Amino acid sequence: MYRYDEFDARIVADRVAQFRGQVARRVAGDILEDEFKPLRLQNGVYLQLHAYMLRVAIPYGQLSGRQLRRLAEVARDYDRGYGHFTTRQNIQYNWVALKDIPDVLEKLAEVEMHAIQTSGNCIRNVTSDHFAGAAQDELMDPRPWCEIIRQWSTFHPEFAFLPRKFKIAVTAAAHDRAAIAVHDIGLRIVQRDGATGFVVYVGGGQGRTPHLAALVKDFVPETEILDYLEAVMRVYNLHGRRDNKYKARIKILVNELGETEFTRQVDAEFAAQRGSEKINLPQAEIERVHAYFAPPDFTATTAADLEAFESAKREHPAFAEWTEVNLHPHKAAGHASVTVSLKPVGVAAGDATTAQMQVVADLAERYAYDDIRVSHAQNLVLPHVPVAHLFAMWQALDAAGLATANESLITDMIVCPGLDYCNLANARSIPVGIAVQKVFEEIKYQREIGKLHINISGCINACGHHHVGHIGILGVDRKGEEFYQISLGGRADEKAAIGDIAGPAVSADEVPGAVKRVVDAYLGLRTGPDEKFIDTFTRLGMEPFKEALYAAG
C-alpha cells in the first residue's frame, strides 16, 4: 500500500496544526460559526443531531493493521467504543467532542491518516473497487491512479469551494464494484493499442434527482488524465448552479446543458490549456506511486493445505457455508478475498466495535499480508488470504461476531444512519433494516434467494443508495409519521440503473412483509436458481412485483 514520504507527512502535519489553530480561534470567538462551518467540514467535522461527528478518510478504502488498530483506539478513547464504516469507504465517529478533534487528527497523522476533504463542497475521498489488486476480473490495479488523484485533489486551490461536493470513483474490473455510474466522475481504466487510459463518465449521482453518469470521453491517455479532470472541474466550478443547493451537483449541469454541450465545453476547456498549464506528472512519479502497490509475495499453497481446507469444511458446516458465501475469487492461486461482514442481524450496518477492529487488524497482520479494505457496501475485506489460513481466520472472526455468512445476500444491506443519528433524515433506517433482516434471518432462505441488494436511506439525500438497490427503501415523512417508499430494479454495477418507485409508501410496520412478498414472488417467477432477482425483474418488469408488494399482507 502507499506509504507517506516526508512531503505527504508534512502536508498532513501542517493540516493538523492549521485545524488546531482554527478550533482555538473558533473557541475564542475570532471565527463566527458560519465561517467556521466550511473549515470544520473540510476536516470532516459535522454537527449532527446529538454531537459533532468526525469522518476520517480511508483513501480508496485501504487500511493496514496498524491503521485499523488506531481507528479502534480512537473509537475507544474518544467515542463510545465503536465506529461506523460508510458507503464511501470511510469511517465516522458519532460522539467526538470538538475540543478533542485536533488530538484525534494528530493521532491519525501518526499512522498516515487524516480527515481532509471528507466533507464540504470539495473533491472528496476517491473510492474504488474493494477487491483492487486481488480480483481475478481486473485489468490492472486501480489503486495507484486513485492515489495519484488523491494527491492532485488534496488542497487543490481552485476547487475547494465548488458549487457542491464532488465524488470520484475508479474501477479497472469487468464487474464494477465501485459504482462509477453514480459518481460525479466515474473513471474506468482501459487499454487501447497497448496504452493505458481512462473512459470518463461525468454527472452520475443519487440524492433527490438521481442520474447515471454520461460518457464524456471514451479514452483519455494516462498522461493527460489529471489535465482532463482539471478541465471538467473548471467547467463545473464556473458554470455549476449556485442558486439552489439541490441543483448544484454536476449532474444537474450535465443534464441542463445536455451531454453533448457539456462535453463540448469540457473539450474546449481542455483544448485551451496552454503547455504551461499542463500538470506534466513525471513518468518517474507515476512509477513511484505504482511501486507501492506491487502485489505481495504470495505464498505457495501445498496439496496438504488444500486437503486441510477441504477437511475443515467437512467438519464445520458453518465454515463451509461461510466460504461459499463470503469468499471472492483471487488472481493468485491458493488465495481468496474474504468479506468480513459487518451486517449480523440486529446490528447497525457498518458498525464495528473497538474489539472487532482490533481482531481484524490482528488477523490481517498474522494471515493476510497486512492489507484491509472497507467496501462501499459497509463491510470489511481482507483481500489476500491464503487458503491455508482461512479456517483459523474464520474461527477468530466467528469468536468476534464477524463471521456472518451473508456477503451480497439479502441481509447484507446498505443502511444509512437515518433519524437515529442524522439531522437530515426524515425517518429511521437502522430499525427498519433490522426488521427486514429478521424476516430473512435463516441462512438457507437467504441462500435460496441468492444475490439481492437491499439499500435503505432515511431521506431523499440517498446516503443509503436506495436508488441503486435491487430493492430500495426510502424513508419519507408523512405529517410527522415515518413512511417508506419502495423502489425496485436499481443496480450500481456495470449495468447501472435507477430503481423504479413501486407505488405508494407504506408504514414502517408494513415494510418487512412487503419486501417478503416481493422476494417470494421472485422465487416463484424466476427461471431457476441461476436467475438473480435483478435479472428476473429486468425480464418481467414491475407489474408482478408491484402486485405482490401491495397484496393484502
Q: Name the residues that contact other proteins, by CB under 8 A.
A: 5, 7-8, 10-11, 14-15, 17-18, 21-22, 31, 35, 38-39, 121, 151-152, 154-162, 226, 234, 237-238, 242, 272-274, 276-277, 279-282, 284-285, 288
CB of 37 to other proteins, least distance (A): 9
Give the closest residue to 497 by CA, choosing from 538, 460, 546, 447. Answer: 538
CB of 256 to other proteins, least distance (A): 16
| 56 DSSP β-pair partners | 91
Which is nearer to other proteins, 287 or 509 (by Cβ)?
287
Which is nearer to other proteins, 27 or 551 (by Cβ)?
27
Please give the DSSP secondary-structure letter assigned to residue 300: P
CB of 119 to other proteins, least distance (A): 14
CA distance 487 to 369: 41
CB of 150 to other proteins, least distance (A): 9
Residue with cell 480480483: 135
Which is nearer to other proteins, 11 or 355 (by Cβ)?
11
Question: Torsion-angle region of residue 337: left (phi > 0), alpha (psi -120 to 50) or beta?
Answer: beta
CB of 125 to other proteins, least distance (A): 15
| 217 DSSP β-pair partners | 200
Which is nearer to other proteins, 30 or 481 (by Cβ)?
30
Give the closest residue to 415 by CA, choosing from 482, 350, 484. Answer: 350
Question: Torsion-angle region of residue 43: left (phi > 0), alpha (psi -120 to 50) or beta?
Answer: alpha
Which is nearer to other proteins, 155 or 550 (by Cβ)?
155
CB of 242 to other proteins, least distance (A): 6
CB of 21 to other proteins, least distance (A): 8
Beta strands 127-128 and 62-63 are unpaired
CA distance 319 to 405: 9
Residues with Cβ < 8 Å from 115, sequence gap 6 or more? 43, 44, 45, 54, 55, 56, 57, 105, 108
Helices of type H across 139-241: 143-153, 225-239
- For residue 363, give the H/E element and its range: helix 354-367
Residues with Cβ < 8 Å from 496, sequence gap 6 or more? 176, 179, 181, 182, 204, 212, 468
Which is nearer to other proteins, 121 or 429 (by Cβ)?
121
CB of 156 to other proteins, least distance (A): 6
Which is nearer to other proteins, 275 or 480 (by Cβ)?
275
CA distance 331 to 335: 8
| 188 DSSP β-pair partners | 171, 199
Which is nearer to other proteins, 38 or 344 (by Cβ)?
38
CA distance 201 to 208: 20
Which is nearer to other proteins, 7 or 317 (by Cβ)?
7
| 382 DSSP β-pair partners | 338
- CA Rg, the chain, in Å? 23
CB of 525 to other proteins, least distance (A): 51
Given a contact cutoff of 8 angstroms between Cβ atoms, the answer to whether 414 and 408 are in contact is no
Which is nearer to other proteins, 20 or 66 (by Cβ)?
20
Name the residue type at position 346. Answer: G
CB of 268 to other proteins, least distance (A): 11
